[in-house]
Amino acid sequence: MNIIIVGCGKVGYTLVEQLGGENHDITVIDEIEDKVHSITDELDAMGIIGNGVSYQTLLQAGIKKAHLLIAVTGSDEQNLLCCAVAKRAGNCRTIARVRNPIYYREIEFLRKELGITMIINPEMTSANEISRIFQFPSAVKIDTFSKGRIELLHFRVTKKCLLNNYELIHIRTTLKCNVLVCMVNRNDEVIIPRGGDFVFHEGDMVAIIAVPTEANAFFRKIGIGSIPVHTAMIVGGGTIGYYLARRLLSVGIATKIIEQDPDRCEHLSEMLPKATVICGNGTDQKLLLEEGLDKVDGFAALTGLDEENILLSLFAKKNSQAKVVTKINRINFSGVIDDLNLDSITYPRLLTADTIIKYARSLNNASLDSNVENLYKLEEGKAEALEFSIKEESVVTNTPLVDLRIKKNILVCCITRGNQVIIPGGQDELHVGDSVVVVLTNERLHNIRDILEA
């Protein structure tokens, strides 16, 4: 596809980096010359120096032939206007990043009136992710399929966890748990376990797929706590902190926000009357302890500095039993961050890019007669989870899975048939109308038929 990206900041760079590997023709636009060059010098993209709202600039970037325009500048208003102009100039699909809470209740109105295909709010997306983790603290990360009925949960095997030195087969035979282990990350190697004799080790990052109730039972049996958070402390009262606090309060979680800007504290108190807002320096260890850090169930470090968030999270882990979530914007040092053994990390920039890439892939798949409905990049892109909709009979339907020659790096993880969720065994079959989730490594699939050996 021909894709135009307006805005060459962190998200713009990440989008070019990831979309560029999928054979798209990409043009970037930014008013700052150095930002444009930083992308075009390192990545496969054309660059235009100019204002993305300008009709002439868009013409120069090839808007007449563009399939998709993505506006991710630092200004919500500029992103909205850019999409509106692009829609009329080239009649392409458009995506705008809009972050200001003032537009929260107007998103659908803006989308329809301006003809924008999708409006993304990265701060709200991050807040929703943290909220899900707080409600399911056993997991490090949670992805959802089939409109939330199925969850892909990531967790780490600890020394005291029952799974340490445990064979895979015993999850079904001994624990009697209806979950499927679909991926294990061990020392940066992604493994899709196929045999029952696979043995888990301490430090493994494991991904299971299950319905929420079954996942709860599984975590209880392996000795990982799964009691939802009832009290939470947020350090950093920015946009993510606001969205998270509002969401937590809506489900009855007592929430305390620590923010050092007095004006922002007053604003938060007015917008979130049920929250406890403390005006103070969140890096003050004495303040954190005085405000009950050692007694809270959940802790989120959401300041504007990655280093500050990391140190806050390490302090919280040392001085409490809380589920800890850390916000990180830069991903350049992911290997070092992994060694710190933080609980859960949210990357707003990656969440935005993943959402857009998922849409771009679905748009591209439509032109390729694909039946991919949903996509998640896992383990920093080393694996993918795809959701297929089976619309017609083919070589993969009406045959037991055990009799299909499925590629070694692919695992069929879940089948949704109507309101029934099936964690498949060898005798289960795929039928027309099913929604099917598969996990894979080192492969690109466009159609469910591609899971089979040639």
Taking domain 231-346, whether its CATH number is 3.30.70.2190 is answered by no
Cα(12)–Cα(8) distance, integer angstroms: 5
If you search the block for the tokens 């958070």, which residue do you land on? 229
| Ordered strands of the 254-259 beta sheet | 276-279, 254-259, 231-235, 298-301, 323-327, 344-346
CA 277 to chain centre: 28
pLDDT in tens, 206-235: 999 988 888 888 988 998 866 789 999 999
72, 79 in Cβ contact below 8 A? yes
Q: What is the mean pLDDT of residues 415-438?
A: 90
> Which segment of 52-61, 254-263, 322-331 scores lowest on mean pLDDT?
322-331
pLDDT of residue 130: 93
Question: Model confidence at 331, in pLDDT bands (50, 70, 90)?
Answer: low
**Paired strand residues for 300:** 234, 325
**Paired strand residues for 191:** 184
Question: Model confidence at 286, in pLDDT bands (50, 70, 90)?
Answer: very high
Amino acid at 323: K
Indicate if the pLDDT at residue 368 is higher than 60.
no
Through-space distance between the first and last CA atoms of the chain, rounded to whole angstroms: 27
pLDDT > 70 in the chain, percent: 96
| Residues 213-219: contacts with CB under 8 Å, at least 24 apart | 214/177, 214/178, 214/179, 214/423, 215/136, 215/138, 215/151, 215/153, 215/179, 216/136, 217/177, 218/171, 218/175, 218/177, 218/179, 219/138, 219/155
Domain extent listing, the chain: 2-120, 127-221, 231-346, 364-451
pLDDT of residue 31: 95
DSSP strands (E only) in 72-215: 93-97, 118-120, 141-145, 150-156, 180-186, 189-191, 205-210
Cα(26)–Cα(45) distance, integer angstroms: 5
Mention every residue, 6+ apart, whose C-beta is less than 8 A from residue 10. 329, 330, 349
DSSP strands (E only) in 25-92: 25-30, 46-49, 68-71
CATH topology of domain 127-221: Alpha-Beta Plaits (3.30.70)
Question: 0.85 cut: is pTM over it?
Answer: no
Indicate if the pLDDT at residue 415 is higher than 90.
yes
Q: What is the mean pLDDT of residues 95-120?
A: 89
Cα(138)–Cα(165) distance, integer angstroms: 19
Evaluate whether 127-221 and 364-451 have a shared fold: yes
In the CATH scheme, what is the code of domain 364-451?
Answer: 3.30.70.1450
E strand or H helix at 87, and its extent? helix 76-90
In the CATH scheme, what is the code of domain 2-120?
Answer: 3.40.50.720
CA 342 to chain centre: 17
Phi/psi at 302 (nearest 5 deg)? -130, 35
> Which segment of 19-23, 182-186, 396-400, 427-431 scores lowest on mean pLDDT?
19-23
Per the prediction, the chain carries an average pLDDT of 89
Lookup: tokens for 440: 């894979």
User: Count of CB atoms within 10 A of residue 182's CB?
Assistant: 23
